[in-house]
Amino acid sequence: MLATYIGTSLTMVKNHYIKHNQEAYKMRKILILVSLILIIPSLVSATTLVRETLINESINKYLSDQFKENTILKKNYDKEDNTLKLTISGNYLSDERLKEILSKQNDYGLKNISIQISQLSNDRLTEKDIVEYIIQYKNDHELQKIDKEKEKKETPTKNKE
C-alpha cells in the first residue's frame, strides 16, 4: 500500500514534456484510479487478516484461562460454521462446570462462536487413542503456546508457596 502511494506520487510530479493541461489532468485521473484499484484489495485483505488474528488470540486466551486443569488434545475452529470443536482430557468436567465455562465465552469476544466439547477421561483412552492424540498434540503449535502460557501462570504461584 505504501509502495503504491509512493509510486503514484513520483509519477504525478509535473512532467515538462506534457504540453497540455488536459493531458496532465487525464493522466492524474488514471493514476488515481489505478492507485485505488490497488489499495482497496489490500485494505480488505488487511481487515480480514486482523479479524482472523483477533479471533485466534481470543480463542487461545479463552482456552488457556478456562481449561487450566485439562489438556486440550484437539482444537478445530471452522470459520464457515463459526464452530470451535475441542477434545479435552484430564479431570471430568460436570455439566454445571461446562455451562459455566461456556457462559464466559462472551467475556472473550466469542459470543457468536459455537463451542462443542468432547471429554475423554484418562481411564477411557485406549493405547491407540493416546498415541494419536499425542501425535496431534505435538504437531499443533497453537496448543504448545497455550501450554507455555499455563506454565508461565503456574510458575509464579509455585514460587509463592
Q: Are residues 35 and 75 in the same domain?
A: no
Residues 80 and 20 in one domain: no
Helix (H/G/I), strand (E/B), else coil: 97:
helix
Shared domain check, 89 and 35: no
What tens digit of pLDDT does each residue of 63-75 get?
989 988 888 888 8
Residues of the chain with pLDDT under 70: 1-20, 121-127, 141-144, 146-147, 150, 154-161
Q: Do residue 42 and residue 61 come from a single domain? A: no
Instruction: Give the cell for residue 1.
Output: 500500500
Asked if residue 58 and residue 40 are part of one domain, the reply reads no
Q: Encode pLDDT of 9-30 as tens digits.
A: 666 555 555 456 777 788 889 9
Q: Which three cell numbers stand for residue 10?
A: 513520483
**Number of compact structural domains in the chain:** 2
Domain interval for residue 120: 54-160
Angle at CA of residue 42, ends 38 and 44, nearest 5°? 125
